[in-house]
Structure 1
Amino acid sequence: MRRWLRHHRYALQVALRRLRGHGLSSLANILVIALMLVVPLLGAAALQSAQPLMRQLAVNPELTLFLTPGLDTAAQQALQARIRTEADEQVAQVRLIPAAQAMDELRADPAWAQAFDALPANPLPDTLVVTLKDTDAPTRIADTLMQAWQHWPGVDRIQLDSDWVRRLESLLALLRTGLTLLAGAVLIVVLATVFNTVRLQALTQREEIAVARLVGATEPFVRRPFLYVGALTGLAASLLAWLLAGLALIPLNRMLERFTHTYDLEWVLHLPPPADLLSAGALTVLLGAVAARLSVTRHTRF
């Protein structure tokens, strides 16, 4: 165990010495990777911060159930009670609006009053207005309820009154897909940058590697410092990316505050939770080590 720890301590010291020896090149590589990592970090911050904003934009989605003409009051109340019983976890409120009440409300508007005076009878149906609870996927829940309720006796037609929610969710889904593709591009950049860095270092240290082999150095002993170079590059890039993303959020939040204030909204961008940041950092370190392993396998056999 002590021998294993001694070998890894030596490899870490050699890796740090090599990074310092190529200070400008190492710093440039770390900066390139960090700048690439900042973009998905800011995108993730925007997506996660958009969830509470959706709850401030408007009221919860509503489903309007237009009842079959001539349906008696007892059947209407039975439908109202059935909705409360079977969908209590998804439904916040169920309101019965009789046709006469709806017509009286429209008559109160001068723009509609003359139009209704010209009609021989009330053309409006009785309706049930169902307000859904606040959830992360209101469109999916609304679609599920619509498919179930449209086959109920007494229900003529169903309308989703908050179609903007569907459009907003589609936009967020598009942004998530774009963020995933961007993360894939960052992965490729990390692999290519570290691969090329380790390749150049291996070519520079070829004489040192040849001498080490002559005195009995094993392949794992030769490769281990290069793996630490890749891992340390990924670690330094992750830390720098967190710092740059945090600094970038300061002016962005100032601009957002001025913009959202005009709409009486509150939207503040925050970095992803620490657990997500640590996971992303660990993945970057692992990618750096993997890229170094791939590169050193090809370029240390002199």
Structure 2
Amino acid sequence: MRRWIRHHRYALAIAFRRLLSNPFSSLANLLVIALTLTLPIIGTAFLVAAQPVVKQVSITPEITLFIDLSHDQEKAQSIATRIRNEHEADVANVRVIPRDQAMNNLKGNPAWSDALAVLPDNPLPHAVVITLKETEDLPERVAALTNLWKNLDGVGTVQHDAAWVQRLAAILAFLRVGLGLMAAGVVLVVLATVFNTVRMQALSQREEIAVARLVGATESFVRRPFLYLGALTGVIASVAAIIFAKLALVPMNENLATLAGTYNAQLALSLPNTHHLLLAIFTVAVLAALSARWSVTRNTRF
């Protein structure tokens, strides 16, 4: 056990020494990885800050059934009761808006009051407004329920916002693809930078590695310092990225507070919690170590 600890401590010391032996090259590589990692951290801060705002905005669509003018309010109530009983799993709320109430609401709007005053009678129908529950297949459910309810007896016209829901679904799908591509790009940058760093170190230590093999050093002993070099690069770059993101959020929050104030709202960006940051550091270190292992395996075959 002591021998194993001694070997790993020696490999870690060698990795530190190799980082410090080429300060400018190491600093450039660390900056590249750190700046790349800063982007998803700031993106995550935006997502975390946006979650409370998104929860306040209802994205559930409403379907409005306009009853034929030949039917009275009792017909609208019976349709509402039928929908509430038969589609309890899909419907969050059902309410009836009488034609007189709808007319009074329009008359209360100055833009419509003069035009409505010249009408001899109320041309508006009774309406049944149905609010749907949030589901993953919301656009499909809106289309299916609309086709079903427009054939109900007494229903004249159906109005719904399925197009808006479809646009929302398309935007969310686009954002998911964008975030996935950003994550893939970050992984590729980390792997490529660490791979090239370890490659240059392995080539510069070519003679030292050859001598170590001649005196009986195992492949694990030869590769271990390079693995620590990759892991250290990932850890240091991750910590630097967190610091960069923290500094970048200061001016961003100042301008965001001014913007949110114009809407009488409070909004601030903050870093992910400590557990997520530690998990990110560990993930980057593992990826960097794997890239280092791949690089040293390919470039020490001599």
Global fold match (TM > 0.5): yes
Q: How does 1:96-245 map to 2 (within 5 A)?
A: 96-109=96-109, 111-116=111-116, 119=119, 121-131=121-131, 141=138, 144-145=141-142, 147-152=144-149, 153-154=152-153, 155-160=155-160, 167=167, 170-245=170-245
Pair 1:250–1:115, CA change in 2 (3 A)? same
Is the CA contact 1:231–1:286 (under 8 Å) kept in the aligned structure 2? yes
Q: CA deviation at 1:81?
A: 3.0
- Deviation sequence 1:106-152 (CA, Å, 0-9, x none): 2344543454455565332211223457x6x7x95475245225413
Q: CA deviation at 1:163?
A: 7.2
Is the CA contact 1:146–1:158 (under 8 Å) kept in the aligned structure 2? no
Q: CA deviation at 1:190?
A: 0.8
Other-structure match for 1:284: 284
SS in 2 for 1:151: helix
Q: CA deviation at 1:242?
A: 1.2
Other-structure match for 2:43: 43
Q: CA deviation at 1:240?
A: 1.1
- TM-score, length basis structure 1: 0.84
Other-structure match for 2:249: 249
SS in 1 for 2:95: strand
Moved more, 58-67 or 242-251: 58-67
- Deviation sequence 1:142-198 (CA, Å, 0-9, x none): 752452254132444443469777656644543332222122111111111111110
Q: How does 1:88-99 map to 2 (within 5 A)?
A: 93-99=93-99
Percent of matched pairs sharing the same residue: 53
Q: C-alpha separation between the residues in 2 aligned to 1:211 and 1:24?
A: 28
Q: C-alpha separation between the residues in 1 aligned to 2:116 and 2:19?
A: 82
Other-structure match for 2:13: 13
Q: C-alpha separation between the residues in 2 aligned to 1:267 and 1:172?
A: 21
SS in 2 for 1:129: strand
Pair 1:87–1:2, CA change in 2 (3 A)? farther
Q: Where does the alignment leave 5 or more consecutive residues of structure 2 unmatched?
A: none
Is the CA contact 1:8–1:224 (under 8 Å) kept in the aligned structure 2? yes
SS in 1 for 2:198: helix
Q: C-alpha separation between the residues in 2 aligned to 1:72 and 1:150?
A: 23
- TM-score, length basis structure 2: 0.84
Q: CA deviation at 1:222?
A: 0.6
Is the CA contact 2:72–2:126 (under 8 Å) kept in the aligned structure 1? no
AA paired with 1:191? L
Q: CA deviation at 1:91?
A: 5.3
Q: C-alpha separation between the residues in 1 aligned to 2:182 and 2:66?
A: 45
Q: CA deviation at 1:227?
A: 0.9
Other-structure match for 2:78: 78
